[in-house]
Amino acid sequence: MKKSFIIFILGAWGTVSHAQDTAYVSRDKTTALFFKSAVKIISKPSSDFDVDQKEDALITIKAIDANFKPTRINVQEISTAKIYHIPVEYSYGRAGRRIDVDGAAPLTVKVINSAEYNYSAVVTQLAEGKRRDVVDHEKTGGVKAWVNKLSLAGNRVFFRLDIRNKSNLPYEIDFVRFYIRDLKTVARMATHEQEIVPLITTLHKKTSIAHKQEIAKVFGFHRFSLSEDQALNVELYERNGNRHLYLQIKQKDLDDLKTITPARQQPANTLAANTL
């Protein structure tokens, strides 16, 4: 009897469940869920939103219909059998965020599936030194942002985003959104936007830029292309403020990207980038 009780307890630990923060979604913004290790979707009760497993440890959610009741998806971590219950609700204003589930590190350079390269050195190289070959820049309310020349390393496209605050009011970053959109589109319609999610980022949650401070953050994406009539839009949102910044990357910027040869990946599942 005692032996059976112990086996029951161990079995319960093997499928422990964890409640998570709500994932807010909308029809034109993709919300990304990053996990510490490989996961699988075990239930998705609603057809009102799309759930897509982009990588072993990355799931994206986007609404199809705005009129759905709050629900949840259940995701299981493969290595531990841990189950995450993730609430899903519709909210245009709060959608489009990156959620690091259960302490997933936003600075992790994930080498998943058949990845061949170690991108840590590439991230470090791009983050260091002064900005150069600026692709686009924008400023508002004493805050200015620059997108540096794009780079191709292995099968990833990288760019560096510099942000400087000259105002006396600290600039706290809420989130950065990336999507491809037709340049000729007048109305802001979800059918004309393709959200893309960075696989690699050095941007921390709750990043705050003080007076006269400047920071440089690096983002890495699956390799993508643009037509002459498209642009990759980069939107930088201020937390509890309205000093939002909007930048664009166009086809000519991709045609002129710099090539970096990354180091070959050593046998490992994940590599951690240094905190900036």
Total Cβ atoms within 10 A of residue 56: 16
* Per-residue model confidence as pLDDT tens digits over 250-275: 999 998 889 998 877 665 444 444 33
Domain range summary for the chain, segments of one domain joined by +:
2-103, 110-272
Cα–Cα distance for residue pair 140/124, rounded to 1 Å: 28
Note the pLDDT of residue 16.
47
Closest CA relative to residue 163, chosen from 235, 237, 236, 215? 215
Residue 190 pLDDT exceeds 60: no
Note the pLDDT of residue 105.
52
- Average the pLDDT over 55-75 and give the result: 87
Give the architecture-level CATH label for domain 2-103: Sandwich (2.60)
Domain 2-103 shares a fold with domain 110-272: yes
* Per-residue model confidence as pLDDT tens digits over 37-64: 889 999 887 788 889 888 788 888 988 8
User: Percentage of residues in the chain with pLDDT exceeding 90?
Assistant: 37
Domain boundaries 110-272, corresponding CATH code? 2.60.40.1150
Cα–Cα distance for residue pair 249/253, rounded to 1 Å: 6
User: Percentage of residues in the chain with pLDDT exceeding 70?
Assistant: 81
